[in-house]
Amino acid sequence: MAGATAAPASCSIAMSQMLVTAKTNATPGAPRSVDDVPELLAAVARDQCLSRVRAADRPIGAARYGHMFPSLEPLVTDPGLLMRAGDNGGVCAADPSVYECPDDDATEAAGWPFFGQLVAHDITADRSPVAGGVDPEALRNARAPRLNLEMIYADGPIGAPYLFDLDDPAKFLLSRDGGDVPRNRQGVALIGDPRNDVHLFSLALHVALLHAHNGLVDLLRSNDVPEPDVFDRARITLIWHYQWIVVHEFLPRLVGGALVDEMLAEGGRFFTPHPAGAYIPLEFADAAYRYGHGQIRHAYRLVAGGPQFPLFPDLAGFGPPAPDRRLDLSQIFDVPGHPPAQRAKRLDGRLPASLIGLPERVTGAVSAAAHRSLASRDLLRGGSTGLPSGEAVAELIGVAPLTPDELGQAWPGGTPLWLYILKEAECRGAGDRLGPVGGRIVAEVLIGLLRADPASYLSLDPGWSPSLPAAGATFGISDLITLVG
């Protein structure tokens, strides 16, 4: 059964072939070829084959969370205040009258936060109740803290055979028309992370990644790559191109190219995990990386000239998408030869009605009405995981905290980190980019995780550059979309 049964040894061969063909303008001292990286390759073979051994290496939920700024005191805020701030009419709820206002448009295309959401699903899954009550030390992450597309590959053809095509197990199974993931008879998606089925946009990106993998399988076969190597070569190629997009396109747009360059050259100041002890900082999972909630629009157009649909409830997932609700990805990403895509919402500390009143199929049954609001949940999480205030983090990293005028509201003892980061993006990032606190946390964590991952391109061959065709100077998301048609 093709590459599906590949043993660890054949993974090493696959990776070595890839490294040998990779461009080798690596930085001095960095591993340049397979001969330089025997230990890394051993780690890749053991950990990346997605075979039986993976579960033994990392039992589900074994990864931990931690604090990035352990010296800072937790900000203690009355949960009632947090819930009111996030609920309808609260400071974090957008005024519905601005939904159609062009001033609400960010510079960046509407698809970027959805891409960011998939990255979140790839690296962090805290399944503890939002009401809190769990010691942050006891929290477990159901994802490995690696940008390795675990949310599509899961345990691979051996551990998760229902994801793959029985007639060609090197390929993912899709719906009959190729526009959806496979589902059981109750409509539940058979995918690596159920959260990717939460709405039409994350589903469409997930499906695009499955098509990209299958397309790579065809490409490798047409290049006479030996069949036992095909699955792993396709998987690693897709993962490295995805990592490349994160480093060279997604992050520069979100935090600015200068900060990315600094991270690549010097590493992080506050987050430099060792490969064996990589973890997700709670300041990232429960504050900074939830910036994306503030970039979601209330309504979207799916096809050129088509009507706009509210994200929720109209485009909610967890079931097959209606035939008239298929998304043309060029409506959310700028693709050469197509008109400009819709834009993301400007970051301003407020979430649209779709996210202030999440449907029950997204939240499950809730014990308090405010738990339907994603803003309330974001604020409550930060409280229950003991995050410091935004002002405290700003002072620690050496930047001037936001002024009361910039914040617009005084909070007792300091501003919750999540909200601070959104306001910082509004005031210091023109509503398009994260400011110095949010940007530093996000950039340090994503690049730190890539550096700590022994199988990432940054670890194995930092001079690598994409091998797939690009319309512009370098491979990007629009090339991935074009690749899958």
Q: Which of residues 210, 285, 446, 450 is near ligand HEM by CB under 6 A?
A: 285
Cβ 457 vs Cβ 238: under 8 Å: no
| 170/167 Cα distance (integer angstroms) | 9
Task: In angstroms, give the least distance from the CB of 208 to ligand HEM.
Answer: 16
Task: In angstroms, give the least distance from the CB of 200 to ligand HEM.
Answer: 10
Tell me the H-state helices in 87-174: 111-123, 150-153, 156-159
Position 120 contacts ligand HEM (CB under 6 A): yes
4 vs 93, beta carbon nearer ligand HEM: 93
Position 294 contacts ligand HEM (CB under 6 A): no
Helix then strand then coil, % of the chain, to nearest 5: 50, 10, 45
Task: In angstroms, give the least distance from the CB of 32 to ligand HEM.
Answer: 34
Position 450 contacts ligand HEM (CB under 6 A): no
Q: Characterize the bridge pairing of strands 308-310 and 299-301.
A: antiparallel
One character per residue 192-221, x = contact with ligand HEM (rule: CB under 6 A): ------xx----------------------
Element at 141 (helix H, strand E)? strand 140-141
Position 373 contacts ligand HEM (CB under 6 A): no
One character per residue 325-364, x = contact with ligand HEM (rule: CB under 6 A): ------------------------------x------x--
Residue 347 φ then ψ, to 5°:
-80, 120
Q: Which stretch binds ligand HEM (CB under 6 A): 92-100, 120-128, 328-336, 434-442?
A: 120-128
Dihedral of the alpha carbons of 139, 145, 148, 151, in degrees to the nearest 10: 10
| 193/111 Cα distance (integer angstroms) | 19
Position 384 contacts ligand HEM (CB under 6 A): no
Q: Which of residues 377, 428, 433, 451 is near ligand HEM by CB under 6 A?
A: 377
Cα–chain center distance at 20: 29
| 322/129 Cα distance (integer angstroms) | 31
User: Distance between terminal CA atoms of the chain?
Assistant: 27
Task: In angstroms, give the least distance from the CB of 333 to ligand HEM.
Answer: 14
241 vs 293, beta carbon nearer ligand HEM: 293
Position 117 contacts ligand HEM (CB under 6 A): yes
Other CB atoms closer than 10 Å to residue 183's CB: what's the count?
A: 16
Position 124 contacts ligand HEM (CB under 6 A): yes
Position 126 contacts ligand HEM (CB under 6 A): yes
Of 9, 35, 13, 11, whose CA–CA distance to 24 is shortest? 35
Place of tokens 């010097």: 266
| Closest residue to ligand HEM, based on beta-carbon distance | 292
Other CB atoms closer than 10 Å to residue 297's CB: what's the count?
A: 25
Position 34 contacts ligand HEM (CB under 6 A): no
Position 382 contacts ligand HEM (CB under 6 A): no
Interface contacts to ligand HEM, rule CB under 6 A: 113, 116-117, 120, 124-126, 130, 198-199, 285, 289-290, 292-293, 296, 355, 362, 374, 377, 381
